[in-house]
Amino acid sequence: MAVKANPSKKIDDLLAYLFDLNRFGVKVGLDHTIELLKRCGNPQNNFHSIHIAGTNGKGSTSSMVASILMQAGYKVGLYSSPHLINFNERIRVNNICITNNQIASFIENKRKDIDEIESTFFETTTAMAFQHFSLSNVDIAVIETGLGGRLDATNVLNPIVTAITSISLDHRELLGNDIITIAKEKAGIIKTKVPVVIYPQKKSVQSILLKIAAQFDSFPIEVERPEKVSINESGTSFLYKGLLYKTPLIGKYQAMNGVMAINVIKIINNKIKHKIIQKGLNKTLWPGRLQRMNESLPIYYDVCHNVEGISLMLENMKSLFTKKPLGLFVIKRDKEVNLLTDVLTNKFHKLVVSGGENFGLLNGSELSSLLYDNNFNEFHSENNFNKALDDIFMLAKKINKPAIIFGSHYIAKPIFDKFGFYY
């Protein structure tokens, strides 16, 4: 009797092959991406694109832009990273994820080329996204950089608008040791005579971005900060150029991301009215960003993992609650823990550190050692992440305090499983 093929095993095997391309690391340079796209028929030339870089906020901004454009009647591709639960989340058309069959088709058809070129995971994923958008006949695709900008695999595009969100220190081993060098890398997405929307940066960073924009004869739009920003447990509201906007995403920084998105939209089509923009903001989905995980208890999850991101998250928690929160903190191995201790000091009623190899994170003991080495001892350690999650939940319930679980995208699945979220 013939044995039927197991389609789930097939996609699991192909995704395992795809993720194994991480063995090639992060390659700086565009040669491999250009070659792989050439063998795909250069699909990136078949649709308009918006290219967004930055350290923090680029994912939220990209998602807002895509949502508004969908409400305005465009067919929209969205490419973002990393994913929270499933790889498919990275590549979407009108908020519908690429299917397993479409992923399998791309890998099977291009596997020989991927192997010959020795394309990395992100280079391959980028080519897959661009081909999917081309085959789907999108009107426009919103493309978030993976890392940096100048040498990021996505920087093969000829976008109709670029945007640079908040820039801070992160990935210094790849992008540079200081914020000016990092800013220059992010500014690498700026193209000749293409408008660039710029988040209000530190003066030194803003100066660099404007200088580079001038060199490319680009058209920089320096975004003004919104007014009357207010947050509560149902979202964020803000006033911008006399008009009131609201988003279900929680955080004062989400108002700034909203303003970035509005400015991008006005370049694409300045006839899109406030009502459509507001509808798009209302429908923006971007889980893992100060996301409430329990209806009865104020327990939140945030993927923030660098100084600026964690600082903003804690600032927003302080705005929402008068009590110091409970915290559960994890971090990836490639993050600079020494930069984070100041921002964590005296911020928690109780802080638990955890993690684990199975999540690609430092485990609780390793993270503890690094924190102690940097003279920070305001925490407890628990190597078993699921136990740490249970403990935080029970403690929040027992002593009636808010809680925040933070530090990585890679813990999303156990958190979503714990609280019954499906995404």
pTM above 0.75, yes or no: yes
Residues 323 and 366 in one domain: yes
Whose structure tokens read 């190899």? 357
Tell me the CATH number at 384: 3.90.190.20
Weakest-pLDDT range from 59-68, 92-101, 206-215, 337-346: 337-346
Tokens representing residue 262 in the block: 């509005």
Residues 380 and 407 in one domain: yes
Sign, CA dihedral 189-305-355-291, equals negative
Mean model confidence pLDDT for the chain: 92
Q: How confident is the model at residue 22 (pLDDT cuts 50, 70, 90)?
A: confident
CA separation, residue 118 to residues 31, 198, 298, 370 (Å):
11, 35, 46, 35
pLDDT of residue 52: 98
pLDDT of residue 26: 61
Check: CB of residue 368 under 8 Å from CB of residue 290.
no
Residues 318 and 414 in one domain: yes
Residues 323 and 210 in one domain: no
Residues 105 and 196 in one domain: yes
Q: How confident is the model at residue 175 (pLDDT cuts 50, 70, 90)?
A: low
- Outline where DSSP puts E strands in 4-86: 48-53, 76-79
Check: CB of residue 169 under 8 Å from CB of residue 307.
yes
Residues 313 and 222 in one domain: no
Check: CB of residue 158 under 8 Å from CB of residue 186.
no
Tell me the C-alpha distance between 66 and 197, whole Å: 16
Bridge partners, 52 (sequence order): 144, 163
Residues 166 and 303 in one domain: no
Residue 1 lies in a domain: no
Q: Is the pLDDT of residue 5 over 60?
A: no
Domain endpoint, select from 231, 253, 282: 282
Residue 414 lies in a domain: yes
Tell me the C-alpha distance between 56 and 375, whole Å: 27
pLDDT digits (tens, 9 = 90+) for 298-311: 999 999 988 888 99
Angle of CA points 285, 289, 295, to nearest 5°: 80
Residue 153 lies in a domain: yes
Domain endpoint, select from 252, 282, 312: 282
Tell me the CATH number at 171: 3.40.1190.10
Residue 322 lies in a domain: yes
pLDDT of residue 50: 98
Residues 319 and 261 in one domain: no
Mean per-residue pLDDT, 135-142:
98
pLDDT digits (tens, 9 = 90+) for 347-397: 999 999 999 888 889 999 999 999 999 999 999 999 999 999 999 999 999
Residues 266 and 326 in one domain: no
Q: Determine the length of the chain.
A: 423
CB atoms within 10 A of CB 338: 13
Q: How far is CA 395 from the centre of its chain?
A: 30
Q: How many domains does the chain have?
A: 2
Domain containing 362: what range? 291-419
Residue 384 lies in a domain: yes
CA-wise closest residue to 39 among 137, 100, 108, 117: 117
CA separation, residue 163 to residues 55, 220, 265, 413 (Å):
12, 9, 11, 30
Residues 180 and 153 in one domain: yes
Residue 295 lies in a domain: yes
Residue 184 lies in a domain: yes
Residues 204 and 108 in one domain: yes
Residues 134 and 253 in one domain: yes
Domain endpoint, select from 258, 282, 306: 282
Residue 396 lies in a domain: yes
Q: How confident is the model at residue 4 (pLDDT cuts 50, 70, 90)?
A: very low
